[in-house]
Structure 1
Amino acid sequence: MNHEQSRALYDRALSVMPGGVNSSVRAVRPYPFFIENGDGGHVVDTDGNRYIDFVMGYGPLLLGHDLPESVQAAVQQYSTEGPMYGAPTEVEVELAEFVTRHVPSVEMVRFVNSGTEATVSAVRLARGYTGRDKIVVMQGGYHGAQESTLVEGEGNHTHPSSPGIPESFAEHTLTVPFNDPDAARELFEEHGEDIAAVLTEPILGNYGIVHPVDGYHETLRELCDDHGSLLIFDEVITGFRVGGLQCAQGKFGIDPDITTFGKIVGGGFPVGAIGGKSEIIEQFTPAGDVFQSGTFSGHPVTMAAGLETLRYAAENDVYDHVNGLGERLRAGLQEILEDQAPEYTVVGTDSMFKVVFTRDAPDTFDGHCEAGCQQRESCPRFESCPKNGHDITQAETERWERLFWPAMKDQGVFLTANQFESQFICDGHTDEDIDDALEAYKEAI
C-alpha cells in the first residue's frame, strides 16, 4: 500500500499538534494513516487505500458510515435551522424519553458532551448525594481523562497515573481487581463508611473485553446496598451496543444507581449522558445543589442524530444483524486459533470482539466457550482466560501492536491500535466483510 499522503500529513501535524494527533491512541507507529471518507463498514485513506473498519470511531458508529436517510435528514434539519441556542429544544426531551423508556435503571437523564464529562459528573454527583469522598474503581479500568480515576496502585495505596494530577486526588480513589469479590468485600470492610460509589464498566471495554465472572456484579450491588454507597455503571462503550436498547445492565440483570453513556447515544456526534434514579439525578443543579452545566450540553444536532440512530436500530433489526455477524466472526476466529495459536483467547459479545494474545492456555478448545470467552467456570480454559486488566497487560501486547496490527492493516483491515481497546461491528458490515477479515486473520496470526 502507498501511504505518501498520510506520511506528508503527519509531518505537517507534528508541527502544530502534540504528537501529531488529538487523541493519543491514534498515534500508531511509524505514523497513522489519515482517513478521507467512510463507506458502510469501510474507510478510505487519503492515499486511496480501502479498509474494512472495525474501529468504528472507537464505538459510536453502530450504523456504520452510511447513515440512513432518517438520520441524515434529522442532522441536516437541525444543523440548517441554527447550530445551537443556549436554550432547550424538543429533541433533547425526546431523546431523554427514549433512554428512560428502554434502559431499566434510568428514570432521568442529564446530557453532556463526552464520556469523560459524563463520568466526571457522575463521580461528583455520587459524592454530593452521599456526602462521602472515596470512589472505588477497577484496577486497569478506564473512565476517561479525569483526575479521580487516573490512578495506579492497589486498595488505598494509590497514586496518580499521569503527571499533572495532585496526590490528593488519588487519596480518595480506591482500587480492586475486576472479578475479585473477596477483594471488594475486604475493601468495604475497611472503608465502607467512606465510600461514595463503586464505578465500573459492566464489561471491561478498554482492557480486552473482560466479562464479569458469575455473581461479581451482584456482589458489588449487595456491598453498595449494605454500606449506603452507589453503584455506577460506565456504559459509555457498552451502552446501546451490548444488550441492545436495554444496554449491558439489562443483559446482566443488574440495576445500577447511576449510568454513564456516550458514543452511540449521540449517533456519532460528541455526547455523554448521566442517567439514573430520579432522587439521585435530581441532585444536579438547578433541581439540587450538585453543580453541573455546559454550553453545548443537549446540542440539538447531536440529540437528533442520537434519537434517530436509536429509533432506526429499534425498527430495523440492527441488533440481530450486528450480533449475528459478531458471533460468526468470533466463532471463526476461534477456529483459526485452534489451528494456529491455541494459547490466544477470543473475547467479546454481541457486536464487540478481540483476539487477546494470551500466553498460557490449554492446547485444545474442547468444551470451550463458543464465540468468545464468557467466564464460564465449566470451560476448560476458565483458569487461564483473562479475569481483569492486569491479565490483559501480561499478554503479548508488543507482538499484537508491532507485528499483528501492521500485518492486518496491510491486508486492508483497520483494527483498534493496541491490544486493549475493543473492536466493533456495524450495521454496514456484510458477510463478505467477515469472510475477508477471517482470511486476513489467518495470514496475520
Structure 2
Amino acid sequence: MNHEQSRALYDRALSVMPGGVNSSVRAVRPYPFFVQKGDGGHVVDADGNRYIDFVMGYGPLLLGHDMPEQVQSAVQRHAAEGPMYGAPTEVEVELAEFVTRHVPSVEMLRFVNSGTEATVSAVRLARGYTGRDKIVVMQSGYHGAQESTLVEGEGDHTHPSSPGIPESFAEHTLTVPFNDPEAARAVFDEHGDDIAAVLTEPILGNYGIVHPVDGYHETLRGLCNDHGSLLIFDEVITGFRVGGLQCAQGKFGVEPDVTTFGKIVGGGFPVGAIGGKSEIIEQFTPAGDVFQSGTFSGHPVTMAAGLETLRYAAEHDVYGHVNELGDRMRSGLQDILEDQAPEYTVVGTDSMFKVVFTRDGPDTFEGHCEGGCQQRPECPRYDYCPKDGSDVKQAETERWERLFWPAMKEQGVFLTANQFESQFICDAHTAEDVDDALEAYKEAI
C-alpha cells in the first residue's frame, strides 16, 4: 500500500499537535494513516487505500459510517435549524425518555459531552450523595481521562498514573483486581464506612474484553448495599452494544445505582450521560446541590443522532445482525487459533471481539467457551484466560502492536492499534467482510 499522503499529513501534524494526534491511542508506529472518508463498514485513507473498519470510532458507530435516511434527516434538520441555543430542546427530552424506558436501572438522566465527563460527574455525584470521599475502581480499569481514576497500585497504596495529578487525588481511590471478590470484601472490611462508590465496567472493554466471573457483580452489589455505597456501572463502551437496548446490566441481570453512557447513545457525535435512580440523579444542580453543568450538554444535533440511531436499531433488528456476525467472527478466530496459535485467547460477546495474545493455554479447544471467553470454571482454558487487566498486560503486547497490527493493515483490515482496545462489528458489515478479515487473520497470525 502507498501511504505518501498520510506520511505528509503526519509530518504537518507533528508541527502543530503534540505527537501529531489529538488522542494518544491514534499514535501508531511509525505513523498513522489519515482517513479521508467512511463508507458503510469501511474507511478510505488519504492515499485511497480501503480498509474493513473494525475500530468504528472506538465503538460509537453501531450503524457504520453511512447514516440511515432517518438518522441523516434528523441530523441535517437540527443542524439547519441552528447549531445550539443555550436552552432546552424537545429532542433531549425524547432521548432521555427512550433511555429510561429501556435501561432497567435508569429513571432519570443528565446528558454531558463525553464518557470522561460522565464518569467525572458520576464520581462527584456519588461523593455528594453519600458524603464520603473514597472510590473503589478496578486495577487497570479505564474510566476516561479523570484524576480520580488515573491511579496505579493496590488497595489503598495508590499513586497517580500520570504527571500533573496531585498525590492527594489518589489517596481517595482504592483499587482491587477485577474478578477478585475476596479483594473487594477486604477493601470494604477496612474502608467500608468511607467508600462512596464502586466504579466498574460490566465487562472490561479497554483491557481485552474481560468478562466477569460468575457472581462477581452480585458480590459488588451486595457489598454496596451492606455499606451504603453506590454501585456505578461504566457502560460507555457496552451501553447499547452489549445486551441490546437494555445494555450489559440487562444482559447480566445486575442493576447499578448509577450508569455512565457515551459513544452509541450519541449516534457518533460527542456525548456522555449519567443515569440512575431519581433520588440520586436529582442531587445534580439545579434540583440538588452537586454542581454539574455544560455549555454543549444536550446538544440538539447529538441528541437527534442518538435518538434516531437507537430507534433505528430497535426497529430493524440491528442487534440480531451485528451479534450474528460477532459470533461468526469469534468462532472463525477460534478455528484459526486452534490450528496456528492455541495459546492465544478469543474474547468478546455480542458485537465485540478481540484476540488476546496470551502466552499459555492447552493445545486443544475441546470443551472451550464457544464464541469468546465467558469465564466458565468448567472450561479447560479457564485457568489460562485473562481474569483482569494485569493478565492482559502480560500477553504479547509488543508482538501485537509491532508485527500483527501492521500486517492486518497491509491486508486492508483496520483494527484498534493496541492489544487492549476492543474491535467492533457494525450494522453495515457483511458476512463477506468477516470472512475476508478471517483470511487476513490466518496470514497475519
The alpha-carbon deviation at position 303 of structure 1 amounts to 0.1
Q: Identify the residue that residue 234 of structure 2 maps to in structure 1.
A: 234
Distance 1:38 1:24 in 2: 21
SS state at 2:43 partner: strand
Query: Superposition RMSD on alpha carbons, in Å?
Result: 0.2
Distance 1:308 1:72 in 2: 9
Q: Identify the residue that residue 410 of structure 1 maps to in structure 2.
A: 410
| Structure 2 residue identity aligned to 1:231 | L
Determine if the alignment matches structure 1 residue 349 to structure 2 residue 349. Answer: yes
Q: Identify the residue that residue 148 of structure 1 maps to in structure 2.
A: 148
Distance 2:435 2:251 in 1: 28
SS state at 1:305 partner: helix
Distance 1:30 1:301 in 2: 36
Distance 1:66 1:26 in 2: 22
The alpha-carbon deviation at position 282 of structure 1 amounts to 0.1
Distance 2:357 2:150 in 1: 25
| Structure 1 residue identity aligned to 2:419 | Q
| Structure 2 residue identity aligned to 1:289 | D
Matches within 5 A, 1:274-293: 274-293=274-293
SS state at 1:153 partner: strand
Q: Identify the residue that residue 189 of structure 2 maps to in structure 1.
A: 189
The alpha-carbon deviation at position 349 of structure 1 amounts to 0.1
The alpha-carbon deviation at position 61 of structure 1 amounts to 0.0
SS state at 1:233 partner: strand
Distance 1:385 1:4 in 2: 41
Among the aligned pairs, what percent are the same residue? Answer: 89
Q: Identify the residue that residue 43 of structure 2 maps to in structure 1.
A: 43
Q: Identify the residue that residue 176 of structure 1 maps to in structure 2.
A: 176
The alpha-carbon deviation at position 99 of structure 1 amounts to 0.2
Determine if the alignment matches structure 1 residue 223 to structure 2 residue 223. Answer: yes
Q: Identify the residue that residue 254 of structure 2 maps to in structure 1.
A: 254
| Structure 1 residue identity aligned to 2:104 | P
Q: Identify the residue that residue 396 of structure 2 maps to in structure 1.
A: 396
**Structure 1 segments unaligned to the other structure (5+ residues):** none
Matches within 5 A, 1:349-428: 349-428=349-428
Q: Identify the residue that residue 160 of structure 2 maps to in structure 1.
A: 160
| Structure 2 residue identity aligned to 1:320 | G
The alpha-carbon deviation at position 139 of structure 1 amounts to 0.0
Distance 2:413 2:426 in 1: 14
Distance 1:2 1:281 in 2: 52
Matches within 5 A, 1:69-218: 69-218=69-218
SS state at 2:93 partner: helix
Distance 2:186 2:364 in 1: 36
The alpha-carbon deviation at position 35 of structure 1 amounts to 0.1
The alpha-carbon deviation at position 151 of structure 1 amounts to 0.0
The alpha-carbon deviation at position 427 of structure 1 amounts to 0.2
SS state at 2:196 partner: strand
| Structure 1 residue identity aligned to 2:82 | G
| Structure 2 residue identity aligned to 1:278 | S
Q: Deviations over 1:298-353 (max 9, x none)?
A: 00000000000000000000000000000000000000000000000000000000
SS state at 1:6 partner: helix
| Structure 2 residue identity aligned to 1:350 | D
| Structure 2 residue identity aligned to 1:402 | R
| Structure 1 residue identity aligned to 2:265 | V
The alpha-carbon deviation at position 216 of structure 1 amounts to 0.1
Distance 1:329 1:435 in 2: 8
Distance 2:68 2:223 in 1: 44
Distance 2:283 2:66 in 1: 39
SS state at 2:376 partner: coil
Q: Deviations over 1:390-410 (max 9, x none)?
A: 000000000000000000000
SS state at 1:217 partner: helix
Distance 1:435 1:278 in 2: 46
Q: Identify the residue that residue 243 of structure 2 maps to in structure 1.
A: 243
Distance 1:417 1:428 in 2: 22
Q: Deviations over 1:101-139 (max 9, x none)?
A: 000000000000000000000000000000000000000
**Structure 2 segments unaligned to the other structure (5+ residues):** none
Distance 1:384 1:332 in 2: 20
Q: Identify the residue that residue 324 of structure 1 maps to in structure 2.
A: 324
Distance 2:384 2:4 in 1: 43
Distance 1:21 1:205 in 2: 22
Distance 2:302 2:329 in 1: 31
Equivalent pairs counted in the alignment come to 445
TM (norm. structure 1) is: 1.00
Q: Identify the residue that residue 336 of structure 1 maps to in structure 2.
A: 336
Distance 1:271 1:361 in 2: 40
| Structure 2 residue identity aligned to 1:287 | A
TM (norm. structure 2) is: 1.00
Distance 2:40 2:197 in 1: 40
Distance 1:378 1:277 in 2: 37
Q: Identify the residue that residue 297 of structure 2 maps to in structure 1.
A: 297
Distance 1:424 1:186 in 2: 36
Distance 1:340 1:41 in 2: 28
SS state at 1:124 partner: helix
SS state at 1:366 partner: coil
Runs of 4+ in 1 over 4 A off after TM superposition: none
The alpha-carbon deviation at position 168 of structure 1 amounts to 0.1
Distance 1:140 1:249 in 2: 21
